[in-house]
Structure 1
Amino acid sequence: MDCKKINANLLLTMAILAALWPVPTVHAQPWLVRGTVTDASTGQPLPAATVQLAGTYSGTIANDEGEYSLKVQQLPATLTVSYIGYVSQERVLTAPAERIDFALTPVPFLLDPIVVTAETSAEGIMRQVIRRKQEWRPSLASYQAQAYARRVLENEEGIVSIGELASEIYWERERGLREVVKSRRVTQNLDAQEAYISAFAGFANFYDDDIPFIGHTLIGPTHPDALKHYHFDLIGQRYLDDKVVFDISVEPKNKLQAAFVGRVSVLDEDFALLEVELAPSRASMTSAVPLPLIEHMDFAYQQQFRGFAGGVRLPVDYRASMAVKISMVGLHFPAIKYDVVTRLSDYQVNVDMPDSLYASEEVLQVDSLAVAQDSSFARLADKVPLSAREQAAYATIDSTMQFENAFQPTGFLARLLVKEQADETEERTEQATEKTGVRVEPSRWGSVNLKPALRYDRVGGAHLGLEGSRGLGGGLETGAATGYNVGLKRWSYRGRVGWQRTAGKVALEYGRGPVPRIPSDSYFPLLNSGQFLLGLDDYFDYYWNERLRARLHLALPSQVGLAVGFNHEEHSSLQETTSFSLLNRDWRPRSNPAIEEGRLRSVEAGFEWGEPYQPFGITANRRVAVGVEHSSAGLGSDFSFTRLRLALDGHFKTFLKRRVTPNALDVRLVAGYSIGDVPVQRFGSLEASMGFFSPFGAFRTVRGHPYEGEHYAALYWEHNFKTTPFELLGLWDWAMRGAGLVVHGASGRTWIDAERRAKLGYDPRYEGSFRHEVGVSLMLYHLLRLDFTRRLDRPGWGVGVSLVRFDFGGNVTVRM
């Protein structure tokens, strides 16, 4: 054999193996690098310093103690640490290292005065930031990132709970956000099986045009119209390596504008946001916290941004803190502090999103298998390190440390909360019992909802009763009520059965007993009972009604409801039976008028759009309701008439529309018209104040009982300026305490034919002309109103109390 040939083949084989053999200098096994980032001159930690793997989108931020941890995939690798006002540092890693500390050298502040030109003024700089954003934002079609979020809840004594989350974030311009939870860890007093909180819950990207804040949005500092709303001022310059960073203060131009205050940092030449430190303005807080219990509340936000391909700027973190003090006379809670830190890393920009994520409308999705496999929360090795306090909290907080104990109220009203807390504890105990598999079957009547039915008036006297309802399954529901009228010495009964489906419901009801002659949209019998017991006028008149009613309700799209019904009623008059009051023993109430007795059979139809009417003006009403009732001899009725009813309610935002509760105008129009001989028990009415209670939708300069007539029409309006007048006067403490101003008015009248009025047999509340009034209300503690009203058509004043309005939504229902 030729030795030279053998040697040549051997050398060729060795060369091929050498070429295929892994390079020994590359470390393929990922490992964790930990360390601190500090100021080289003082040794102080640099919170939120960014640590980046050069050439990648993988990085992290330091915690408040300057500690960081970052996973390195392979060698060689370069770590870059940066912090505004300091010289960035780089460390090249050629071998695994478990700890690398960075001490950054401060860059001296510029001592020369800042030369301001049109381009270097704060407004000019922000104009460039907005222009650059409008250039790169359209190119951002999608991104994917790894998210880590930590939420820490504290009271005055220390940490109460901690929750951590690791998830994958997917965002696409057309289809929106999706989040997949991969790992979760909580302190032992939190139930890990309860609903997950998104890493993006409450998250805000301060590069967006509109920034979410407590249920609404505030205009962001890079909004296209930001220069119209904000005053920007150049307050300093710093360096990031050899580039200038402009520090610019942010304040709303209008002190009543719900907006942000604070500072933004802009990188020169790139004209890009590097960092924001912002808080809601005082005007934002006064409108965002319309609750009498909130004594003090603070929010603060911090965020950093980094550049990506194509000039895209995306957030790498989000840090938010909230401090709130809940207190009122007789009730004080410990101060609450809530901190959130979110880190975003490993961005992939403008990549295709998995279609499977968008098969469901659910934004937050949980990878249950991944969560179960990572019970120790080890999947995300390079999370933002826990502080020493947070590590101690994980070690010491156990399942016995419940929230009701951590935030136990004090004060004489605190005792009222004891029962509610005991009920919640009992419920948790029952849930824990269910998890162990031990179940106690409910009693046969366990689903019956029972409650007392109590009232007091001049006709029935004391009504002592009980009412209840029970679901039978399949949409069937029954209800019944009974009670004894002490003054009349007669029993009242009511029974109802209904069948509820998505498209509507059918209901059949039978009842007998005393009922108000003219029903009210604003008041209920129990409220009237208090007025009558105090020796004030009984708001209602009454008659005996034995009735059978059938109803069909249809719920249509777009909050539209239709209803039809049939009434069979037997009417008879009643007389007053009692005059007892607590404060005036010699007082005699007005007589209860006789009605037109007989059998009334009628058919009804109704249309309603919008939410159901909410009385007292507590919430905004947006609705249209139309109803018609017809009775004739052809139906076997002793009465022949047709009556029409109309109610329009509107709520219109007027000023400061970006606030949670902006200034608003509320209007209510009610009208009714009848044809034929409508009996007095079917008259229409215009509401009056009930004693000193003067809610919206009632005339505030008349008290006792309502106006009535065959026809009626009235317009009620009020404009709620909220806390704005006190803010304009600089009385911010008053504004935060809920002091505000409302201007209101009303006009209306009823009509009764003169010949008909002469035959009524009683003197109704009636005026033959329009009544006009206007007034002003002082809001107190976001809860109560003092109403001062002047009558315009003749001399007269009214002073009353009502409730402050809250703008909450509702579901559509149909009432007849």
Structure 2
Amino acid sequence: MFPPIVMVWFAFFLLGYSAADSQAEVVVQGVVLDAETGETLPRANIEVMGQAWGTIGNDKGAFRLVVDALPVTLRATHIGYAPAELLVAKAGPLKFRLQPIPLEVEGQIIDGDDPAVRIMGEVIRRKRAWAPLAHRYRVEAHTRQVLYSNQYIAAIRESLAELYRDRDKGLREQLKAKKHTANVSASMQVFAAAKYLFNLYDDEIALHGQTFLGPTHPQALKHYSFQLVGHKDDHYFISIQPKTSALPGWTGALVVQDGEYALVEAQLWPNRRLHPAGFATENGLGYRLKQHFARFAHGAWLPVETEYEIEGRLGTTTGSERIRRLRGAPTPQARLLGWTWLRGYELDVPSIDYAFAIEQALLVEPHSPTWDKFLDKRRADHPLTRREAQAFADLQQGFKPLAEQAVSALYRLHERRIGEEVPAVIGEDPLAQKTLVNDELLRDVVAGATGVHLDTSLTFFGQHVVEIPSAARGKLTPELWVNRVDALHFGARWRGTNLLGQRTGLYFKGGYNTGHGRFFAGVGSKRIWGTDGRSFTGLYYQRGTAPRYPSSLYTLADNSYPFLLSLDDYFDFYWRTRWRAEAGYRFAQQRSVLTLAFNRERHSSLRKETDFSFCSVQSNSSYVYKHLCADRDLTYRDNPPISAGRMTSLELVLDLGGLDPKAWHRTRLAAEYSDEWMGSFARFARLDARLDWHVERARGRFWPAESNYRLQAGAGLGRVPIQRHGTLDAGLVIVAPFGAFKTLRNRPYTGRHYAGFFWEQRWRTGLFERLGLGWRAHRWGLGWALHGAAGRVWGLVEDPPTRLHHELGLSLTLLDYLNVEYTRRLDRQEGHWSLSAKKTF
């Protein structure tokens, strides 16, 4: 049973979401009709204007669509008919009446299939003949990207580049010139336009980890339903939609040239929202893709103009967005309109080999010509609209930096990836944009201190909740928590890189613990070296309370919540004074960091100082005390003593996959050695390893959409003091994030040797769609998962069970964020309910 006070809190939590939802989304439904005959038009496209989001009508012309709020403008399209728009101000049955456009359909011999099947079969057959000729080419690309925040233009950027494509080796891009509004930060000025590009003529099109079969894939006739809508001016007009919604597919329209049997135009929408890795979104991203093709040498058909629209709310989740709307401050709708014009194709030329002799996927020329000299000639062919030109002029003056706006994430969808190094723009310090100082120092410079870490994102019980704007980092921030030893811990800290330059990070902290009456303090500095900024050194001093066993999931601020509810501390504590000197190197290609450190520490025991809690300030006759505090032991456990004395050690740490805790694949290997000849009171060695692995799949809605794995193990040799024992985390009250035993509460397993394996397989909406709950699943952000864990510890100080802890459970995801879980412990035959936040990447 959950403590009553926890149940009260949870009830208000769900009530808040329900209230937010009741005011947020509206269901709009209607039918699409032929304006002349009054007959229904099956499978019409319904689009929300200003958003790359909509739906497809059914075979009877009816549609159902969930929108954020009213009013909205809807647009209905159907091949062979003129589009129609409706302003929807209130919910109610809608009727679109589309006027037919004269299209002639040639006489066809009907053999049971739509004539479009024969036409597309011929397109696929002819593609096999010319496709090998188009596997290697060079082309000039002019790209323009206009970023919207709601209905306002937030930024514009353009580039001119040469693209080199090899089927087996991928893409290379050489940036020739660029131009942008003044509010675009340096890290977003140089961008890989090729990362946003696609070729709808390809067999497979990959978008954010999902693979969509192209309309000309050899298996496209089995995967898609094609319907001939009409024929005009030697072109066939064909609609396309997947035969099943269980697999990724396209919905839209194709234009095929008669006689040539080749695509000349395609406008397609994915049949699902997409979830980019590393970006929190309310309900994924909507895409609209459009492309024109032309014939080149040897009969090859290649794209000459590409248009794409991407929309969504970024930097938020379904759950948090409902709360924002309840408060009347929703996250702005981000929309990116992009165009790429391609010209000057050269097939299989020697310069392609030269381009792939360079490892970088994006190469910036050291002396790029100015825009006026090189790129305005291209703009003359594709001028800015009046609205874009006015916005460009306005944004050159007073503006809010784009980096501080949530919509900027659409400019960062394809930032540098593994193996891709973007050389710095001339005149800028390459270390000033994304450096080891800003990535690693501002996260780990206070590794010797405990408590809430001011990261690039705020955390709650180990989960990243919201990104902190860069302008807010490096400020003076408070440090506050409570526990049974410190009582009230309060103070402040500052850290940043603007005192001694961008290559040096500094850290200061100080404050007071009311329980044992001691001041805590800390100071640290880290500097990076070399022109590439890969080497670094650091020196730190810390004195203060430290947890006896480490946790990768909880901070001391997290521990304050159960403490105030009289649910005991998660941690035990000791007093530590530490000097630490370190040196390291970051490997570029593997995104890995090797660190060698020397630690000089003094440890002493601390005793429990307080039994204060929420219940201790309630009157025994009060309603709150009688229902939430009575008949409970309100005394905290004692804080156990440690092995006291001076400790000196050497530490070697290898982080594979970088230092970002949200990385998809990350391995941390650590070794520590301490000996008496070094002046230490104990002789021991420790080995620790942790592997985190995240996999996303695109095999359909009835396969797991993503998998998470964590393996932790460690061993101690010699006389390992208890403050150096390893840990397997437990749940905290009712919160049990991934990486914790969900059937173990409030006290972790600790020991000299430990091993644990945690896993979860997560599905999205496929099961709910099979049950006829598809639209509700999308509206409420539903999903489900199987999870489990197994592990044990050896060399125990305390007396937890010595046998293997083994558990298996099921979780339901609500609002695309909150997991409600039931887990069964298999070695004890007992079950527990818990909550957690969905792990995001």
TM-score, with length taken from structure 1: 0.67
Report what 1:782 is aligned to: 816
Distance 2:157 2:544 in 1: 60
Q: One-letter code of the match for 1:495?
A: V
Report what 2:432 is aligned to: none
Residues 220-619 of structure 1 correspond to what in structure 2 (within 5 A)? 220-227=214-221, 230-241=223-234, 245-282=235-272, 285=273, 287=275, 294=282, 298-322=286-310, 324=312, 328=322, 329=325, 330=327, 331-332=329-330, 339-344=337-342, 362=362, 371-372=371-372, 381=380, 383=381, 390-391=385-386, 394=389, 399=394, 449-469=475-495, 471=497, 472=500, 475-501=503-529, 502-556=533-587, 558-585=590-617, 587-612=634-659, 614=661, 619=662
Select between 602-611 and 685-694 the one with higher mean Cα deviation.
602-611
- Displacement of 1:591 in angstroms is 0.8
- Displacement of 1:489 in angstroms is 0.9
- Displacement of 1:458 in angstroms is 0.7
Distance 2:154 2:752 in 1: 64
- Displacement of 1:246 in angstroms is 4.2
Distance 1:260 1:576 in 2: 63
Distance 2:672 2:564 in 1: 35
Deviations 1:177-202 (A, max 9, x none): 55766797x89999999937787673
- Displacement of 1:565 in angstroms is 3.7
Distance 2:652 2:354 in 1: 48
Contact 2:164 2:352 in 1 (8 A): no
Q: One-letter code of the match for 1:541?
A: D
Report what 2:827 is aligned to: 793
1:714 aligns with 2:756: yes
Residues 26-41 of structure 1 correspond to what in structure 2 (within 5 A)? none
Q: Could you say if the C-alpha distance between residues 204 and 592 of structure 1 is closer, same or farther in structure 2, counting changes exceeding 3 Å?
A: same
Q: One-letter code of the match for 2:743?
A: T
SS of structure 1 residue aligned to 2:642: coil
Contact 1:189 1:397 in 2 (8 A): no
Contact 1:302 1:319 in 2 (8 A): yes
Contact 1:287 1:723 in 2 (8 A): no
SS of structure 2 residue aligned to 1:532: helix
Report what 1:195 is aligned to: 189
Distance 1:268 1:350 in 2: 28
From 133, 136, 139, the equivalent of 1:139 is 133
- Displacement of 1:125 in angstroms is 4.0
Contact 1:719 1:744 in 2 (8 A): yes
- Displacement of 1:708 in angstroms is 2.0
Q: How many positions carry a matched residue from both structures?
A: 642
Distance 2:391 2:649 in 1: 71
From 713, 717, 740, the equivalent of 1:698 is 740
1:802 aligns with 2:828: no
Report what 2:693 is aligned to: 650
- Displacement of 1:629 in angstroms is 3.2
- Displacement of 1:456 in angstroms is 1.5
Contact 2:247 2:699 in 1 (8 A): no
- Displacement of 1:107 in angstroms is 7.3
Distance 2:159 2:542 in 1: 60
Residues 623-638 of structure 1 correspond to what in structure 2 (within 5 A)? 623-638=666-681
Q: One-letter code of the match for 1:547?
A: R
Q: Could you say if the C-alpha distance between residues 349 and 723 of structure 1 is closer, same or farther in structure 2, counting changes exceeding 3 Å?
A: same
1:766 aligns with 2:759: no
- Displacement of 1:166 in angstroms is 8.7
Select between 197-206 and 668-677 the one with higher mean Cα deviation.
197-206
- Displacement of 1:576 in angstroms is 0.7
Deviations 1:418-467 (A, max 9, x none): xxxxxxxxxxxxxxxxxxxxxxxxxxxx9975333322111111122233
Q: One-letter code of the match for 1:134?
A: R
Distance 1:269 1:321 in 2: 32
1:110 aligns with 2:96: no
Q: Could you say if the C-alpha distance between residues 631 and 727 of structure 1 is closer, same or farther in structure 2, counting changes exceeding 3 Å?
A: same
Q: Which has the larger radius of gyration?
A: 1
Deviations 1:27-47 (A, max 9, x none): xxxxxxxxxxxxxxxxxxxxx
Q: Could you say if the C-alpha distance between residues 657 and 452 of structure 1 is closer, same or farther in structure 2, counting changes exceeding 3 Å?
A: farther
TM-score, with length taken from structure 2: 0.65
Distance 2:387 2:590 in 1: 54
1:684 aligns with 2:678: no
Give the fraction of aligned pairs with identical amino acids, expressed as a percent.
Answer: 31
Distance 2:723 2:502 in 1: 37
Contact 2:283 2:816 in 1 (8 A): no
Distance 2:820 2:495 in 1: 38
Report what 1:671 is aligned to: 713
Report what 1:60 is aligned to: none
Distance 1:551 1:621 in 2: 27
Q: One-letter code of the match for 2:189?
A: A
Distance 1:188 1:479 in 2: 32
Distance 2:178 2:658 in 1: 41
User: Can you give the 5+ residue segments of structure 2 that lack an aligned partner in the other structure?
Assistant: 1-78, 82-100, 315-320, 406-471, 618-628
Contact 1:252 1:261 in 2 (8 A): yes
Q: One-letter code of the match for 1:320?
A: Y
Distance 1:162 1:716 in 2: 43
Q: One-letter code of the match for 1:466?
A: A
- Displacement of 1:689 in angstroms is 0.9
SS of structure 1 residue aligned to 2:196: coil
Contact 2:142 2:378 in 1 (8 A): no
